[in-house]
Chain A
Amino acid sequence: MLKRAQALFLSLLSPAIALAMAGGVSAESATRQLNMPQGVTEVSQAAYDIHMIMMWICTVIGIAVFGFMFYVMYAHRKSRGAVAANFHEHHVVELIWTIVPALILIVMAIPATSALLKVYDTENADIDIKVTGYQWKWQYEYIGEGVKFMSELRTSQDEIYGRAPKGEHYLREVTQPLVIPTGKKVRFLITGNDVIHSWWVPDFGVKRDAVPGLFTAAWAKTDVPGTYVGECTELCGIGHAFMPVVVEVKEEAEYNEWLAGKKEEAAIYKSTIGKEWSFDELMVRGEEVYERSCAACHQSDGNGIPGVFPALKDSPIALGAKEGHIAVLIDGVAGTSMQSFADQLSEVDIAAVVHYERNAWGNDVGDITQPVDVLNYKQGQ
């Protein structure tokens, strides 16, 4: 910690700051980034430009106003023998400092308007991707491609709670990033499933609220391949800080390959859904799923948070009939933050986590929940 403080002190003195201020990101020291990123799209560039214009205008006005103020504080001190004048109005001056700022505003409004027009230019997209905010993960659906998946935080609870060292990409890594191609205009159709979230990728200049019952559109087109990290920016409950956005931009050929792979995966998955899983296989997979999707509320030890999130340990549902337990995951519990997981988890994952919950923390029901059980329940609906 002392070391960090020391490094920090040095960085304060270092001209790197001035550089970072003027030029945005310097790759080697993302930790010292002080300014808005320029990003890799037209929209992010426009936001950056108008941000810099505003900042310079404010800086110039600030220097003038505060400069004058400091001069007054120095020159007109009583201790220097200053004697107070007695004027208290001057119509011409007052008129000037009303009109001049108004004129400056009109000038600022022009680039501000054109930047906004860019943000709203969502027509004629090449690819449409539906982005849905869930408590506390993102779902991406490639419209018309039959590809849909969840993107969840990959950082472990152990790292978060200091039981394991924090990795380089702490809280900025996900199970499956969103992948888009270079050179194509991608439109994001953003909505929410439960509460309001907000989908933000700074390097794209895209931030849009994910509101239940409403679709909003944003777009990105870039020629720069790479990995871009963003965040959820609307308070959405306890997992708010733990649902990052990661987007990988790939060259078109690579993207197509990736998409084909995804489609294949989906097909393979469909064909293996009937497989019999062993007790232990399900426990291992179930624990993984539980930690990712359930532990935030029901806690790793299954004790929940009294009054907010019920315990699963010794719970009548976990100890009761298998069907009832599956039903809670598939249907959710209306009017609570227990949502339906039918769309978020695969049959295998639901089976595994149900199995895990029935056989962990001293819940030893001892039965086995297979993916077919989940499928049967879904089909029986």
Chain B
Amino acid sequence: MSSPAAALEVRRLSKRFPPRPGQSESPWVLSDLSFCVGDSEFLTIVGPSGSGKTTLLNILSQVDGASGGEMLFRGESINLASAALNPGLNCHIGYVTQDDNLLPWQTLIDNVTFPLKLQGRLNQESMARMQGLLKAVNLIGFDHYYPHELSGGMRKRASLIRTLAYDPPIILMDEPFGAVDAQTRTQLQQDLLRLWNLGRKTIVFVTHDIGEAIALGDRVLVLSRSPARVIYEHHVAIPRPRDLSNFYKLEGFGDMYETVRKELL
């Protein structure tokens, strides 16, 4: 499975949280979890809710430490001990979290340019790029709205382009379209594929939605119930560009959907 070109690789990753007061041990959330992501690959990971998908991405982004195992970034070993964490790996790994995590005291435009500001990269060029992204996700005209004045879907889109705007080579996404309605979701998925096709970034996309996992990914990993391991792997042969408006009709979709559904039972 591993290859020298892998953008990101994890080997035998395991995680358990500190025991709760009055409890001697807490259960393993991840155990022996291994996979790798190729350069410019769109990898989707599908698992039931509560299986540890968010926990996994928190470890990959180094927001949280691992209990065991290792991670390699472009072949280089990364220390995953809690004391040595380097969140985002110097802006090489972007993370679109499950919650939008917009800053409530900043307007939309200040929120989406926040990483650029932190990195000292806010200039005319990046601002022009930002305008393009705002347009792509239909947020033009809301620049000066505060997050509480936006709908859930708009906030989600804002958090998505906040990460896309600073162009990290690897992007982790945690059910980014979980909380939006069906039509908007299809639109956002289509936008994401288009943006990905333009920049060809490496994406690790986590979801509990089997259809979404197959429709978007080059490769689908199936996670077991807790403790999570990779139990199946599928290469998605559906050619790109894919028309997501009726992906149920795409060649080979139905069979794979049935297979994954049974694997998750």
A and B pair up = no
- Residues of B in contact with A (beta carbons under 8 Å apart): none
